[in-house]
């Protein structure tokens, strides 16, 4: 690995830091009586909203349909995930320092798997909350579940739900892109080195 | 066929016109409605477009109309004329519990006791650099002299101060160009007891010698807006009618119209209309403040209330003030002058340049315009014509700029459009008259409905008026709307003044008598609107911020209920252990943190009111049950689909019974529910 690919690998590790600066995912709810909309922000370590009281208002709406209140404490994942991200950042930096090309590949693949597991886990949260409804709920619509879309738009009673990855997720994408380029660049250099030796 | 139809149409229209003329003449000759017909004709066909604000769209301006004897301020959108809000100031308001609940009752305390009403005349917006800044609205209580401040972030009355040594706080409250002072003058003069303080006892025959007026200088805190009575100027015993501040070159001055310079004490309609000229009193407020600071002020005992609403607790507290400082004009040279003005003048209005002072002599046939620069010169030249109580009186010609000839009958008030024109209301001839301030020529007349009083151009009393609209308010309205019995709704009319000719746009009903109004572009107020109070910042001593902390406690004969409300339940909603004759105080905290989700609280048989609790706030209602029974309580403000279910019961047992205090919300189930939300969390 040359200087450039090491630098790229550092950047890849650093990109993951975005996860702490911005939400990974956002769920928007819109209804005629909520013209300003409700936004739930899912971070790597917490759940918040576009303003501090949004979560409370989400829960007030959800309690009519018997959904469990959503709190940051409801998710054990939020406690574990930051450490996993840290681990990737540190190992990424180590890969850059060690400079073994193959490690980039392992690191990238692991991150890819980590991301996929995260998305799967997120989907399972949504299913759990959308289907695990209290039998005492004031509003019961036969056959209705309230799983928000994982990606894209969905009508939930009078609410239009929109779910999109946010800037935080871009961190993972950037990390993968930087790692891929680092991998590619080091390959080119390897070739050059080889030609140098052979001549 | 088509040709034939066309021909018929032309014939019909040829015949139609004379027919319409004839019937028009006939109608005019036999009905008394020709007057209103003429008015209807002055409305263009396309005015609907000029006032139409589409659903969901906002108005261009806020306007604040005084409600007169209802003691409230009503807020309208301009140009739509839609009522946006009623702000109770001096009156109890059952709609939200203002003046009834424990937090706001102290707002209405005065040295005369609890006075839950007043006659609110003049709203005035706070100012920065001579322009309305949209932070506060000051209003006067005419009857029990008071000045109040409304916070325009919450549209709530946050401060009311009583004015001592005043009777009929009419020429009030006028802010100087940076709210350095709010000036409040008395309408009635009364005997003042300078030794013991307050009103003295005197025979009415002693009016001429013993009665005095006062003008109060109220200091305003730059950042918070809090008021403080700095000092008063004790003025001759006339009646003081209206006031207005100068601007630009005259920025240090404030002017007051007076009547009854005859000092008549009975049948004033005759007695106070004898002198051919009364006065316009000019006071240099900066100089007055300087005199007061330099120790020219005397001190006398006083007894007046100052009531303030705290931001964090949403609770009002009353402070009783025991002293007041005063200046005597005869001891303060250069502070006060009198300008002779036509008999019984009413409004005094200073144009945007600050050079011209228009005095509306309601019984005069001309409209005099005084010149500030001539007044300055007259002071230099000592162009005086005697003095009253040591106050110099100017020679009329030395200060007069000119007179508007035949402006109309009964001029009451004038405002300005910022393009060099003035608009005056004519009470007797029922019209608004537009005239040019420089050449004093009448430019246009607009008939308005019966007997207009004040008129308002948004910012028309500031340096830069928003010269697009004019709102003219009624004194007496007759047939603008469907009749509603002997009492008709009061009303305002909106006139377009953007062109050369005035254009009538809209009638809109108002609440009680709209004495005066102020208007301001919406973008100076709307962005600062508070949507809800942050629960974290609620410092009410009885606030309960989590359902788990709700409680019912007995202290002697008082039962304190610290309750929470959230869509769609109260905690607790089952209360027992109250006895007949106990005083129950419900302290209800609204846990919501969302815009426009107040919850109400009402209990059956309560003899004061319900109360409305804004999101994040705590309000307290006192209730003394008189009979045993189980009383329902409920939320009065429809808050969600389950609003009807937002209710509870309080059991009242006979006096001396042994039912213990007990409270709960949600019963413990034999088998715990799989998902115990807050609604089903048992509190026992
Ligand atoms: Cu409610």
Residue to mutate among B533, B545, B675, B678, with most A CBs inside 10 A, is B675
Cross-chain residue pair B677–A134, CB shorter than 8 Å = yes
Interface contact A139, partner B, CB < 8 A: yes
Q: Is the pLDDT of residue B147 over 50?
A: yes
Q: Is the pLDDT of residue B28 over 70?
A: no
Contact residues on chain A for B566, CB-CB shorter than 8 A: 60
Provide the phi-psi class of A74: left if phi over 0, else alpha when psi is between -120 and 50, else beta.
Answer: alpha
Q: What is the helix (H) or strand (E) element at residue B386, kind and residue range?
A: strand B384-388
Q: Is the pLDDT of residue B266 over 70?
A: yes
| Dist. CA B364–CA B275, nearest whole Å | 12
CA distances (Å), B316 to each of A128, B150, B312, B655, B677, in order? 48, 13, 11, 33, 36
Residue to mutate among A60, A139, A157, with most B CBs inside 10 A, is A60
One-letter-per-residue 3-state SS of B442-471: EEEEEECCCCEEEEECCCCCCCCCCCCEEE
Q: Compare CB distances from B673 to A36, A56, A134 and report the shortest one's residue.
A: A134
Instruction: Say how many C-beta atoms besides its own lie within 10 A of residue B10's C-beta.
Output: 9
Chain A to chain B, count of Cβ pairs less than 8 Å apart?
A: 41
| Residues 6+ away with beta carbon under 8 Å from B239 | B187, B188, B189, B213, B258, B259, B260, B268, B272
Q: Is the pLDDT of residue B538 over 90?
A: yes
Average pLDDT over residues B385-391: 91
Looking at residue B34, its pLDDT comes to 41
| Dist. CA A95–CA A113, nearest whole Å | 18
Question: Distance (Å) from the C-alpha of residue A72 to the closest C-alpha of chain B?
Answer: 15
Question: Distance (Å) from the C-alpha of residue B601 to the closest C-alpha of chain A?
Answer: 20
| Residues 6+ away with beta carbon under 8 Å from B586 | B561, B563, B601, B603, B620, B621, B623, B633
Q: Compare CB distances from B641 to A64, A133, A136 and report the shortest one's residue.
A: A64
Average pLDDT over residues B221-231: 96
Report the helix count and the strand count for chain A, using DSSP H and E: 6, 5
Looking at residue B207, its pLDDT comes to 83
CA–centroid distance, B85 to ligand 1, in Å, is 20
Contact residues on chain A for B639, CB-CB shorter than 8 A: none
**Phi, psi angle pair for B541, to nearest 5°:** -60, -20
Looking at residue B640, its pLDDT comes to 87
Q: Is the pLDDT of residue B505 over 90?
A: yes
Residue-wise DSSP of B560-590? EEEEEEETTEEES-EEEEEETTPEEEEEEEE
Q: Is the pLDDT of residue A35 over 90?
A: no
Q: Is the pLDDT of residue B44 over 90?
A: no
Mean pLDDT over each residue of chain B, to the nearest integer = 90
CA–centroid distance, B11 to ligand 1, in Å, is 67
CA–centroid distance, A65 to ligand 1, in Å, is 18
CA–centroid distance, B636 to ligand 1, in Å, is 7
CB B174 within 8 A of CB B124: yes
Looking at residue A188, its pLDDT comes to 64
CA–centroid distance, B592 to ligand 1, in Å, is 10
CA–centroid distance, B612 to ligand 1, in Å, is 10
Cross-chain residue pair B675–A64, CB shorter than 8 Å = no
Average pLDDT over residues A153-180: 90
Question: Distance (Å) from the C-alpha of residue A39 to the closest C-alpha of chain B?
Answer: 13
Query: Which residues share a beta bridge with B583?
Result: B558
Contact residues on chain A for B595, CB-CB shorter than 8 A: 36
| Dist. CA B512–CA B86, nearest whole Å | 12
Q: Compare CB distances from B594 to A57, A64, A138 and report the shortest one's residue.
A: A57
Q: Is the pLDDT of residue B358 over 90?
A: yes
Looking at residue B502, its pLDDT comes to 96
Contact residues on chain B for A136, CB-CB shorter than 8 A: 673, 680
Name the nearest CA neighbour of B212 among B186, B240, B243, B191: B191
Contact residues on chain A for B675, CB-CB shorter than 8 A: 66, 68, 132-134
Q: Is the pLDDT of residue A198 over 60?
A: no
Q: Is the pLDDT of residue B268 over 80?
A: no
Cross-chain residue pair A68–B675, CB shorter than 8 Å = yes
Average pLDDT over residues B452-469: 95
Residue that wins the pLDDT comparison between B593 and A3: B593
pLDDT (tens digit per residue) in B283-338? 999 999 999 999 999 999 999 999 999 999 999 999 999 999 999 999 999 999 99
Contact residues on chain B for A36, CB-CB shorter than 8 A: 595
Looking at residue B111, its pLDDT comes to 96
CA–centroid distance, B369 to ligand 1, in Å, is 57
Range in B120-129, B262-271, B531-540, B638-647 with the lowest mean pLDDT: B262-271
Q: Is the pLDDT of residue B606 over 50?
A: yes
Contact residues on chain B for A64, CB-CB shorter than 8 A: 640-642
Average pLDDT over residues A29-36: 83
Question: Distance (Å) from the C-alpha of residue B567 to the closest C-alpha of chain A?
Answer: 7
Which residue, chain included where needed, has tokens 């229209």? B13
Closest-CA residue of chain B to A71: B677
Name the nearest CA neighbour of A56 among B550, B675, B673, B615: B615
Q: Is the pLDDT of residue B342 over 60?
A: yes
Name the nearest CA neighbour of B317 among B106, B99, B151, B98: B106
Looking at residue B684, its pLDDT comes to 35
Contact residues on chain A for B680, CB-CB shorter than 8 A: 136
Contact residues on chain B for A139, CB-CB shorter than 8 A: 641
CA dihedral B562, B565, B568, B570 (to 10 degrees): 10
CA distances (Å), B269 to each of B262, B272, B515, in order? 12, 6, 21
CA–centroid distance, B561 to ligand 1, in Å, is 17
Q: Is the pLDDT of residue B421 over 60?
A: yes
**What percentage of chain B reaches a pLDDT higher than 70?**
91
Q: Compare CB distances from B675 to A36, A57, A134 and report the shortest one's residue.
A: A134
Contact residues on chain A for B640, CB-CB shorter than 8 A: 64
Q: Compare CB distances from B677 to A36, A69, A132 and report the shortest one's residue.
A: A69
Question: Distance (Å) from the C-alpha of residue B565 to the closest C-alpha of chain A?
Answer: 12
| Dist. CA B651–CA B574, nearest whole Å | 8
Residue-wise DSSP of B303-352? EEEEEEE-TTT--EEEEEEEEEEEE-GGGSTTSEEEEEEESSEEEEEE-T
Closest-CA residue of chain B to A34: B595
Interface contact A132, partner B, CB < 8 A: yes
pLDDT (tens digit per residue) in A126-143? 898 888 888 888 888 888
Cross-chain residue pair B675–A133, CB shorter than 8 Å = yes
CA–centroid distance, A64 to ligand 1, in Å, is 14
Mean pLDDT over each residue of chain A, to the nearest integer = 86
Looking at residue B675, its pLDDT comes to 44
**Phi, psi angle pair for A190, to nearest 5°:** -60, -45
Looking at residue B11, its pLDDT comes to 43
Looking at residue A189, its pLDDT comes to 60
Query: Which residues share a beta bridge with B199?
Result: B192
Residue that wins the pLDDT comparison between B23 and B90: B90
Cross-chain residue pair B532–A53, CB shorter than 8 Å = yes
CB A145 within 8 A of CB A65: no
- Cα-atom radius of gyration of chain A, to the nearest Å? 21
| Dist. CA A52–CA A58, nearest whole Å | 11
Looking at residue A195, its pLDDT comes to 54
Average pLDDT over residues A18-33: 90
Looking at residue A191, its pLDDT comes to 59
CB B532 within 8 A of CB B634: no
Name the nearest CA neighbour of B140 among B116, B121, B157: B121
Q: Is the pLDDT of residue B36 over 80?
A: no
Question: Distance (Å) from the C-alpha of residue B522 to the closest C-alpha of chain A?
Answer: 19
Query: Which residues share a beta bridge with A179?
Result: none
Tell me the whole-structure pTM to 2 decimals.
0.88
Using pLDDT thresholds of 50, 70 and 90, give the confidence band for residue A190: low
Range in A92-106, B23-37, B90-104 with the lowest mean pLDDT: B23-37
Closest-CA residue of chain B to A138: B642
Using pLDDT thresholds of 50, 70 and 90, give the confidence band for residue B157: very high
**What percentage of chain B reaches a pLDDT higher than 90?**
78
Range in B6-10, B127-131, B200-204 with the lowest mean pLDDT: B6-10
Secondary structure of residue B659 in the 3-state scheme: coil
Contact residues on chain A for B567, CB-CB shorter than 8 A: 60
Range in A56-65, A184-193, B183-192, B629-638 with the lowest mean pLDDT: A184-193
């Amino acid at each position: 690995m040359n200087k450039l690919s090491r630098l790229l690998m550092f950047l890849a590790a650093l990109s993951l830091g975005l996860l702490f600066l911005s939400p990974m995912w956002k769920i928007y709810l819109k209804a005629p009586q909520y013209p300003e909309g409700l936004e739930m922000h899912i971070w790597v370590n917490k759940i918040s909203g576009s303003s501090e009281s949004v979560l409370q208002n989400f829960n007030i709406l959800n309690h009519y349909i018997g959904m469990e209140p959503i709190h940051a404490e409801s998710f054990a994942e939020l406690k574990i995930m930051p450490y996993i991200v840290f681990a990737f950042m540190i190992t990424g930096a180590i890969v850059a320092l060690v400079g073994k090309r193959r490690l980039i590949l392992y690191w990238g693949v692991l991150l890819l798997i980590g991301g996929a597991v995260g998305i799967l886990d997120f989907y399972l949260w949504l299913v759990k909350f959308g289907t695990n409804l209290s039998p005492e709920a004031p509003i019961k619509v036969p056959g209705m579940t309230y799983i928000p879309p994982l990606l894209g738009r969905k009508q939930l009673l009078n609410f239009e739900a929109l779910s999109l990855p946010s800037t935080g997720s871009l961190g993972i994408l950037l990390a993968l892109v930087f790692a891929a380029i680092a991998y590619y660049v080091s390959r080119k250099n390897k070739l050059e080195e080889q030609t140098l030796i052979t001549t | 066929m088509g040709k034939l139809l066309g021909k018929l149409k032309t014939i019909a229209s040829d015949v139609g016109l004379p027919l319409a003329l004839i019937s028009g003449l006939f109608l005019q000759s036999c009905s008394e409605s020709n007057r209103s017909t003429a008015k209807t004709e002055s409305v263009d066909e396309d005015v609907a477009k000029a006032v139409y604000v589409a659903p969901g769209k906002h108005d261009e301006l806020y306007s604040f109309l005084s409600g007169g004897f209802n003691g409230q301020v009503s807020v309208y959108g301009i140009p739509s004329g839609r009522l946006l809000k009623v702000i109770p100031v001096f009156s109890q308001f059952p709609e939200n519990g203002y003046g009834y609940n424990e937090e706001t009752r102290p707002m209405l305390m005065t040295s005369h006791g609890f006075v839950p009403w007043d006659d609110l005349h003049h709203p005035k917006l706070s100012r920065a650099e001579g322009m309305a800044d949209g932070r506060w609205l000051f209003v006067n209580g005419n009857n029990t002299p008071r000045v109040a401040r409304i916070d325009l972030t919450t549209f709530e009355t946050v401060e009311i101060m009583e004015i001592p040594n005043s009777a009929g706080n009419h020429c009030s409250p006028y802010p100087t160009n940076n709210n350095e002072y709010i000036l409040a003058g008395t309408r009635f003069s009364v005997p003042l007891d300078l030794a013991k303080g307050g009103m003295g006892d005197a025979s009415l025959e002693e009016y001429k010698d013993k009665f005095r007026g006062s003008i109060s200088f109220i200091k305003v805190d730059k950042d918070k807006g809090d008021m403080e009575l700095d000092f008063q100027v004790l003025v001759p015993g006339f009646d003081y009618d209206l006031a207005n501040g100068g601007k630009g070159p005259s920025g240090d001055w404030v002017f007051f119209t007076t009547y009854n310079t005859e000092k008549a004490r009975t049948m004033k309609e005759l007695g106070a209309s004898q002198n051919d000229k009364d006065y316009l009193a000019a006071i240099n407020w900066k100089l007055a403040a300087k005199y007061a600071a330099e120790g020219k002020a005397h001190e006398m005992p006083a007894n007046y209330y100052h009531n303030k609403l705290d931001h964090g607790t949403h609770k009002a507290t009353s402070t009783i003030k025991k002293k007041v400082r005063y200046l005597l004009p005869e001891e303060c040279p250069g502070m006060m002058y009198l300008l002779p003005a036509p008999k019984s003048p009413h409004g005094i209005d200073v144009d945007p340049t600050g050079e011209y002072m228009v005095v509306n002599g309601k019984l005069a046939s001309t409209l005099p315009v005084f010149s500030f620069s001539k007044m300055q010169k007259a002071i230099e030249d000592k162009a005086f014509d005697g003095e009253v109580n040591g106050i110099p009186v100017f020679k009329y010609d030395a200060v007069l700029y000119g007179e508007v000839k035949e402006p109309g009958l009964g001029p009451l008030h004038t405002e300005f459009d910022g393009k060099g024109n003035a608009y005056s209301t004519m009470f007797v001839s029922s019209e608004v008259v537009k005239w040019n301030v420089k050449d004093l020529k009448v430019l246009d007349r607009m008939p308005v409905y019966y007997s207009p009083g004040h008129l308002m151009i948004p910012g028309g009393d500031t340096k830069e008026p928003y010269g697009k609209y004019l709102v003219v308010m009624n004194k007496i309205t007759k047939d603008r709307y469907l009749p509603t019995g002997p009492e008709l709704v009061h009303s305002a009319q909106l006139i377009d003044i953007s062109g050369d000719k005035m254009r009538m746009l809209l009638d809109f009903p108002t609440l009680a008598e709209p004495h005066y109004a102020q208007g301001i572009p919406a973008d100076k107020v709307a962005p600062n609107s508070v949507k809800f109070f942050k629960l974290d910042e609620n410092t009410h001593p009885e606030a309960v911020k989590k359902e788990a902390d709700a409680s019912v406690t007995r202290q002697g004969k008082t039962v304190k209920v610290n309750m929470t409300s959230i869509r769609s339940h109260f905690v607790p909603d089952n209360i027992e252990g109250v006895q007949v004759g106990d005083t129950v105080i419900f302290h209800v905290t609204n846990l919501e943190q969302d815009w426009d989700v107040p919850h109400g609280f009402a209990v059956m048989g309560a003899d004061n009111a319900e109360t409305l609790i804004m999101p994040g706030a705590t309000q307290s209602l006192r209730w003394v049950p008189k009979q045993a029974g189980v009383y329902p309580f409920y939320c009065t403000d429809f808050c969600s689909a389950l609003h009807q279910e937002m209710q509870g019961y309080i059991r009242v047992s006979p006096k001396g019974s042994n039912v213990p205090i007990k409270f709960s919300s949600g019963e413990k189930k034999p088998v715990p529910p799989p998902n115990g939300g807050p609604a089903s969390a048992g509190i026992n």
